[in-house]
Chains A and B, each alone.
Chain A
Amino acid sequence: MSYDVPEQELMTPGHVACPGCGAPMAVRYALKALGENTVVIIVASCWSIIAGPFPYTAVQVPLLHTLFATGGSVASGVKAGLEACGYKDTTVLTVAGDGGTFDIGIQALSAAVERNEDFIYMCYDNEAYMNTGIQRSSATPWGAWTTTTPVKHPKEQPKKDMVAIMAAHRIPYTATATVAYPEDLIRKVKKAKDIRGSKFLHVLSPCPSGWKSEPAQSVLLSRLAVQSCLFPLYEVEHGDKYTITVWPREKVPVERYLRLQGRFAHLKPEDIRYIQENVDREWERLVAKAKASGQEIPSTGG
């Protein structure tokens, strides 16, 4: 396997993320893929802090912090403003958490991608409102502990399928990524950069504080999420062409992923079986979609 990670660093040391946070890694790789001719929009989230307080910045491209519900709308305005001022080939990258994407910002996001505005929207999904101290979001998985879904009443609803919602808008490009597969992430961001219209990237982003996991295991967790097929890496073009981009070498039991996280410590064996069944079913559905899209299915994948 050849590695193709650009050497240019547009994120500097000195950002203020917690140790082991997936979010700065995701943005660092995305900026490597996009280069200097990029404007970043940060929706209210952990990244509002990570970028550094005024007058500092940890990002070596122009950056605009914005309100929670405005990831799609501010990006539309910035893109229009840049074009009006002659910057027609500048990439606009919106970075938002799962709260800003799945919940409070979904209206503006849905509207912006329905208009097929020319921007990349990257959601770093740490599966709860982590910046305010670990409250459940609609991205929180079934059974997980958060401060608003205590162990006695863990989350009883499944995680919202945001990729399906974005794909249902028939936008040119939707994809998933994790920081355990930087070449895959970078390839997807580069691909998104060259497509006119709306692009949505869903990045699973481990949060040691909120997941009650070891900071040193964030990349491992990201890899196990993929290898267990709980968070498959794939892309969807124009809402109907599904391509799985990383096939698990050997499907890992989801329990291995869950047991490294304190937020799942209370789960009973039957809970884990229930999660495994759901993961298996969703994976089969995804493989069927990829097959229907014409992708060749490797022997380990089916």
Chain B
Amino acid sequence: MEKVIMGNHAVSYGVQLARVQVIAAYPITPQTQVVEMLSEFCADGLLDAKFIKVESEHSVMAAVVGASIAGARAFTATSSHGLALMHEVLHWASGGRLPIVMANVNRALGPGWNVWTEQTDSLAQRDTGWIQLYCETNQEVLDMVIQAYKIAETVLLPVMLVLDAFVLSHTEEPVDIPDQAAVDRFLPPYQPKFRLQPGNPCSFYGLVAPEHWMELRYKMQRAMEQAVEVTQQVGAEFGQVFGRPYDVVEKYRMEDAEIVLVTSGSIVGTSREVVDELRAQGQRVGLLKMRMFRPFPFVAVREALAGVKKVAVIDRNISYGHGGIFASELKAALYGMPNPPTVFPFIIGLGGRDVTPQSIHKIVQYTQQYDKPAEEIIWMEVKR
């Protein structure tokens, strides 16, 4: 069934189809409609879930951790300051190997107040042990919620799926809503291996001495590494069932490309248009969409960029004192490759400033013009 829905409601439909059992949430612009619709689903009996209306995002993540460790499929959604407030508890979700799924609507962190899109909120949580997947369209948002549970429940790590404020969250697009029976076959009920279970007196999250600690963290890293392949398998299986396959990265018109744009989120859609225009003019420009940020898909990225001369990384985020976060991660991934591409690290569109096709054209022109970047960060469309 096709519906014209905003990105936030695509999340809600995905949660309904995934038959989530416990939701805890706190409203924050621009995520609010996700939880409003879920609360209606619960009230109307369209989703058999307990909705806990907590008083803060710290409590949100604590409540979903509690629900998940008790064996339930749990969900929440947040954004920006809400995600920042959760930070401490994010570690307890991943360290507890809990398959929680959370949607984060990318929004800038203050001060001053800014409700518009920027990826710094989610990327600042990169070391919390959460899988991070970035979405380009509302269809991908819905599809990813369903896949996210399958990935999370296979590798036992939580998944954060990420969508842009307003550009996706509040923009309506036609979205195919899959059939519930097909989703049920694709995503069977969660069968926890360990849980708080009456009659089974086990203790969770107790004090761990150095003699055990490293092994637990080693296993988390191994699970992260496994998540790359699992995400590919789940994406391929999703494609077989629903006709829309997914991978950890997507190569778009990269055959013989001399310059490759690397970006994520809704900027991917804009970049596709520009690549089509430039290809029509005979220019050898391609696009690499980064769907997965954590775990970083080293192999896929190296394979995709082998033989490419120049890579323009478009970051809508910043690590102060370093630069664009995708760019620095990509540079690390390319280290040691024979004849690696030259990386042009662009920062653009912070705090929701529009990134237009003209912006992408300018990025391509800069990359064509120079042999190497003239600065450590190439700031686009900033008043200096």
Asked if B204 contacts A81 (CB within 8 A), the reply is no
B370: interface (CB < 8 Å): no
Chain B positions 49-100 with a Cβ under 8 Å from a chain A Cβ: 49-50, 52-56, 58-60, 62-72, 74, 88-89, 92
Interface-located stretch among A36-44, A197-205, A212-220, A240-248: A36-44
Cβ of B209 to closest chain A Cβ, rounded Å: 6
Asked if A48 contacts B207 (CB within 8 A), the reply is yes
- A68 — nearest CB in chain B belongs to which residue? B88
Cβ of B241 to closest chain A Cβ, rounded Å: 26
State A59–B202 Cα separation when bound (angstroms). 9
When A39-B198, A65-B204, A115-B53 are in contact, do A80 and B62 touch as well, CB less than 8 Å?
A: no
- A114 — nearest CB in chain B belongs to which residue? B55
State A81–B63 Cα separation when bound (angstroms). 9
B300: interface (CB < 8 Å): no
User: What are the interface flags for B188-227 relative to A under an 8 Å C-beta threshold, 1 for contact and 0 otherwise?
Assistant: 0000000111111111111111001000000000000000
When A38-B198, A39-B198 are in contact, do A73 and B212 touch as well, CB less than 8 Å?
A: no
Q: Is the interface of B mostly helix, strand, loop or mixed?
A: mixed
Count chain A CB atoms within 10 A of each CB in B52, B66, B71, B212 and give the residue with the most: B66
State A81–B89 Cα separation when bound (angstroms). 17
Q: Is the interface of A mostly helix, strand, loop or mixed?
A: mixed
B21: interface (CB < 8 Å): yes
A49: interface (CB < 8 Å): yes
B312: interface (CB < 8 Å): no
Interface-located stretch among A50-58, A168-176, A227-235, A281-289: A50-58
Cβ of B88 to closest chain A Cβ, rounded Å: 6
User: Count of chain A residues with Cβ under 8 Å from any Cβ of B?
Assistant: 47
State A90–B74 Cα separation when bound (angstroms). 19
Q: Which of B58, B66, B72, B209 is A76 in contact with, Cβ under 8 Å?
A: B66
Asked if B22 contacts A107 (CB within 8 A), the reply is no
B378: interface (CB < 8 Å): no
Cβ of A116 to closest chain B Cβ, rounded Å: 12
Asked if A78 contacts B196 (CB within 8 A), the reply is yes
A87: interface (CB < 8 Å): yes
Asked if B205 contacts A66 (CB within 8 A), the reply is yes
When A51-B203, A73-B59, A82-B70 are in contact, do A90 and B22 touch as well, CB less than 8 Å?
A: no
State A33–B37 Cα separation when bound (angstroms). 42
State A110–B322 Cα separation when bound (angstroms). 41
When A61-B201, A82-B196 are in contact, do A107 and B62 touch as well, CB less than 8 Å?
A: no
Asked if B66 contacts A111 (CB within 8 A), the reply is no
Chain A positions 50-94 with a Cβ under 8 Å from a chain B Cβ: 51-57, 59-67, 69-70, 72-85, 87, 90
User: What are the interface flags for B114-125 relative to A under an 8 Å C-beta threshold, 1 for contact and 0 otherwise?
Assistant: 000000000000
Residues from chain B with Cβ under 8 Å of A64 in the complex: 66, 69, 196, 203-205
Cβ of A276 to closest chain B Cβ, rounded Å: 39
Count chain A CB atoms within 10 A of each CB in B54, B196, B207 and give the residue with the most: B196
Residues from chain A with Cβ under 8 Å of B200 in the complex: 62
Residues from chain B with Cβ under 8 Å of A59 in the complex: 201, 203
Residues from chain A with Cβ under 8 Å of B70 in the complex: 39, 77-78, 80-82, 84-85, 87
A267: interface (CB < 8 Å): no
Cβ of B77 to closest chain A Cβ, rounded Å: 16
When A62-B198, A73-B58, A111-B54 are in contact, do A78 and B203 touch as well, CB less than 8 Å?
A: no
State A37–B198 Cα separation when bound (angstroms). 6
State A83–B62 Cα separation when bound (angstroms). 17
Known interface pairs A53-B208, A111-B59; 12 further A-B residue pairs with C-beta atoms within 8 A, sorted by A's residue number: A41-B66, A49-B207, A53-B206, A62-B196, A67-B62, A77-B74, A81-B74, A84-B50, A87-B197, A87-B198, A108-B55, A115-B52
Q: Could you write out 15 A-B pairs with CB less than 8 Å apart?
A: A39-B198, A41-B66, A53-B208, A54-B212, A55-B212, A60-B201, A64-B203, A64-B205, A66-B62, A76-B59, A77-B64, A77-B74, A78-B196, A81-B72, A82-B198
